[in-house]
Structure 1
Amino acid sequence: MCSHYRPVTDVQRYRSFFGAVLPNGTRPDLWPGYVGSFIRRPRESDAGDEAVAQHEALPGVFGLIPHWAKDTKISRQTYNARSETVAEKPSFRDAWRRAQHCIIPADWIYEPDWRSGKAVPTRIQRADGHPMGIAGLWASCKLGDEWVHSFTMLTVNADDHELMRNFHKPHDEKRMVVILGEGSYDAWLDSLPGPASSDFMRQYPAGNLIASPEK
């Protein structure tokens, strides 16, 4: 699971890898409940207007806030969505059913390495230096007089992953976020609900990631 990550905050890097404009207000270090950014298809992208950008970046709360929530506190429990149960959980099922797919740009994520007997914060990033495009779901709800966007990262089991099985407490299930390859960004944003979306729920190759203990 991932509760802490470093978002992409360099404007040129954001545009180069994700084809979108970095929104204002993104924090450089994100935890559940903080405002980060996510990328989705613009609502007008189906109109056939070539002037409409294909990727729209929006600020949103890290931790999905369903339409029935009364405040943002739920984001502290909804920052990750298990791919095995996302279609059933009340917090996520509407966004999954509507295929409200998004990409979450991250330079790296943090996970605790417990192999020494204590938690060692560890940075995990792509070995090629490219940012991660993490598969997620987005939502929008009205809290009081304000519309609030939010997002969650999708995860898969990683018990047999050569790298990610080293993180979290020894007896806990190992999980990892769904990291997309650049070539599948548009396919993820356009995929239909159900099996088509589930096809993206797979592990990212261990050889394409590096882990570095934080100093």
Structure 2
Amino acid sequence: MCSHYQAMKEQDRYRRHFGVAPPAEPGKFDVWPGYAASFIRRPREADVGDDAVPQREAVSGQFGLIPHWATDTLIGRKTYNACSETVALKPSFRDAWKNAQHCIIPVDAFFEPDWRSGKAVPTRISSENGDPLGIAGLWSAWKSLKGLVHSFTMLTVNADSHELMCQFHKPVDEKRMVVILPPDSYDAWLQARPQDSMDFMRVYAGQLVASAERPAQASLLD
């Protein structure tokens, strides 16, 4: 499961690939649960028939979904990934799934632990051609005393059939990977009806590359 990823630094590259400008406060580059980062969603006003309303908007939010019923933001330290097989049933995610609150998380690379040596080796995973990755997610808005707090989670699928991603995590753990969307399906995902959401929960067919390296140290308790 992905608890650490690298967001995009270059605004022009973000805009070219995702067709929308990043938010004014894009958040961290090295992102861990509880950190602020950007996600892309379909504006609610996009359905009113006004051609002036863009089809996508970039929003800053917390990595780790905060459901509307939460009493504080700490739940986000545990809700940064949502299992697609159970997302419709889990209290933390089911409302966002039922309401098709779909989003795309712009990523340069994400990290998974390689345990084949007997120790966890942080491994950076990116697209083979160097293009950004758009990860399918869900977003939520939580009302705090200081105002509205946006947050998001990454959706995941079983990775047993993926040549690269089946190599990560502990031997006794299920092999899973985030849902990486083909660029030509971005709008389809953002506009998909609740009953069609599962159609996008697939193992990535594009090429990924992995390189072992020691990323910046961080802790879920930071």
TM-score scaled by length of structure 1:
0.97
Residue correspondence of structure 1 range 1-215 to structure 2 within 5 A: 1-23=1-23, 24-194=25-195, 196-205=196-205, 208-215=207-214
Cα distance in structure 2, aligned partners of 1:25 and 1:201? 27
Cα distance in structure 2, aligned partners of 1:69 and 1:139? 11
Runs of 4+ in 1 over 2 A off after TM superposition: none
SS in 1 for 2:95: helix
Any idea what the Cα deviations from partners look like across 1:16-70, whole Å, max 9, x if unmatched? Answer: 0111111114111100000011000111111222221111000000000000101
Cα distance in structure 2, aligned partners of 1:75 and 1:44? 27
Count of aligned pairs between the two proteins: 213
Quote the sequence identity (%): 66
| 8 Å contact from structure 1 (residues 133, 181) kept in 2 | yes
| 8 Å contact from structure 1 (residues 9, 26) kept in 2 | no
Tell which deviates more after alignment, 129-138 or 15-24.
Answer: 15-24
Q: Which runs of 5+ in 2 are unaligned?
A: 215-222
SS in 1 for 2:31: coil
Please report how far the alpha carbon of residue 158 of structure 1 lies from its aligned counterpart in structure 2 after TM superposition.
0.8
Cα distance in structure 2, aligned partners of 1:10 and 1:71? 32
Cα distance in structure 1, aligned partners of 2:29 and 2:8? 8
SS in 1 for 2:15: helix
TM-score scaled by length of structure 2:
0.94
Cα distance in structure 1, aligned partners of 2:121 and 2:56? 36
Q: For the aligned residues, what is the CA RMSD? A: 1.0
